[in-house]
Amino acid sequence: MMKSNSKVLIAIYFLLSATVVMGQATEPWVVPAAKKSVKNPVAVSTSVIEKGKSLYMANCKSCHGDPGKGNGLPLVPKPTDPASDKYQAQTDGEMFYKMQNGRGAMPKFAEVIPDNDKWAIIHFVRTFSKKKNSADAGKIMPDTLPAGSSFTSTSLNGKPITLKLKFNEPDSTLIATVSTLNEDGDLLPVEGVPVGFFLKRYFGSLPVGEEIGRTDKDGRIEVAVPRNLPGDTSGLLHFIARVTDPEVYGIAMDSIGASCGKPLVIVNITEERTLWGRSRVAPLYIIITFFGALAAVWGTMGYVVSNVLKIAQKDV
């Protein structure tokens, strides 16, 4: 059901933006030189490529088609086939920038897909490249997001940076704490780090809170979680917090599951009594009419027959 929702969204998005884009001449999509040379920081591995593939299938395929098959949507300009030479001629930085910002019918994925996941998509797309250029890739892991896990990575001033995410049940707030290790191995809070909070949805992530804030002197930042967010059947929601300026502060993120959502009540419409349902769930009035009419007609016929058989009796 979720799946078809996202398809509807894509369709609406596509219709709206297609009307805007139609008729516009395609200008080359220029990416600033600094962004162009950004290297893919995520380490390449089979699991990363798998991750990228599933993200591509869920978020990109609807427009760009299956890589190498040229079966993308006939938009203007046409979403480039990722396996094409034109697409592969882009640097990783260019691809990232275009996904980040979007243009015309190409959606903006900046907040929708976590950065590391975007890099995973690029790794996947690169598997269709004729020359292998993953040698440049960095060493970190993408946001594979098993609930409750966090990781530490490239650092602030050479020191590793850590982000811990907690959920405070009573006042429904998410609290992130950013810290770094000193030489003695003690945790020190880091002030002024921009942290974004996101709610994991089927199609990308939803920002929590109005704007991205910065950690206070205790390395803390908190954001209120609206109550009544729709969750899964048990009301479970998955939140992510991450440092939103990794180039300055390094990459750090954490995720947490919290049962603070409104439990999703799955109404199984095939169990309701409907005209289009199975026989077992036929509307009662139809069943009553059917058997009522049948009983009335056959009952009358039975009455007539039993009467007629009386003709044979001597006393009539």
Among 33, 135, 265, 308, binds another protein (CB under 8 A): 308
| Cβ neighbours of residue 133 closer than 8 Å, sequence gap 6 or more | 126
Alpha helices in the chain (DSSP H): 2-21, 33-36, 46-59, 61-64, 85-88, 92-101, 115-126, 246-249, 284-309
Residue from the set 50, 286, 292, 295 that interacts with another protein by CB under 8 A: 286
Closer by beta carbon to another protein, 8 or else 301: 301
Q: What angle do CA 105, 111, 115 make, to 5 degrees?
A: 105
Binding partner at 197 among another protein, ligand HEC, none, C-beta below 5 to 8 Å by kind: none
Q: What is the DSSP string of 163-208?
A: EEEEEETTTTEEEEEEEEE-TTS-EEE--S-EEEEEEE-SSSEEEE
Q: Is 88 helix (H, G, I), strand (E, B) or coil?
A: helix
Verify binding: residue 290, another protein, rule CB under 8 A. yes
**Contact pattern for ligand HEC over residues 68 through 107, marking x by CB under 6 A:** -------x-x-xx-----xx-------x--xx---xxxxx
- CB-based burial of residue 174 (10 Å sphere; 0-12 exposed, 13-18 middle, 19+ buried)? buried
95 binds, among another protein, ligand HEC, none (CB under 5 to 8 A by kind): ligand HEC
Stretch that binds another protein, among 120-128, 212-220, 263-271, 304-312 (CB under 8 A): 304-312
77 binds, among ligand HEC, another protein, none (CB under 5 to 8 A by kind): ligand HEC
Distance CA 252, CA 115 (A): 11
**Which residue, 89 or 305, is less far from another protein as judged by CB?**
305
Which of the choices another protein, ligand HEC, none does residue 87 contact, using the CB cut-off of 5 to 8 A by kind?
Answer: ligand HEC
Give 18's Cβ-side CA count (13 Å radius). 13
Q: Is 295 in the site for another protein (CB under 8 A)?
A: no
Rounded Cα gap, residues 252 and 265, in angstroms: 35
Task: Using alpha carbons only, give the angle 153, 156, 157 rounded to the nearest 5 degrees.
Answer: 125
Measured CA distances, 305 to 31, 173, 301, 310 (Å)? 91, 79, 6, 9
User: Which residues 17-46 are close enough to bind ligand HEC by CB under 6 A?
Assistant: 26, 29
Q: Is 9 a binder of ligand HEC (CB under 6 A)? A: no
Out of 49, 60, 195, 252, the only residue in the binding site for ligand HEC (CB under 6 A) is 60
Q: Which segments within 49-157 are labelled E, that is strand?
A: 150-151, 153-156
The residue among 99 and 161 lying less far from ligand HEC, judged by its C-beta, is 99
Q: Which does 128 bind (CB under 5 to 8 A by kind): another protein, ligand HEC, none?
A: none
* 165 touches ligand HEC by CB under 6 A: no
Q: Is-contact 22 76, C-beta < 8 A?
A: yes
Enumerate binding residues for another protein (CB under 8 A).
275-279, 282-283, 286-287, 290, 293-294, 297-298, 300-301, 303-305, 307-312, 314-316
Enumerate binding residues for ligand HEC (CB under 6 A).
10, 13-14, 26, 29, 59-60, 62-64, 75, 77, 79-80, 86-87, 95, 98-99, 103-107, 109, 121
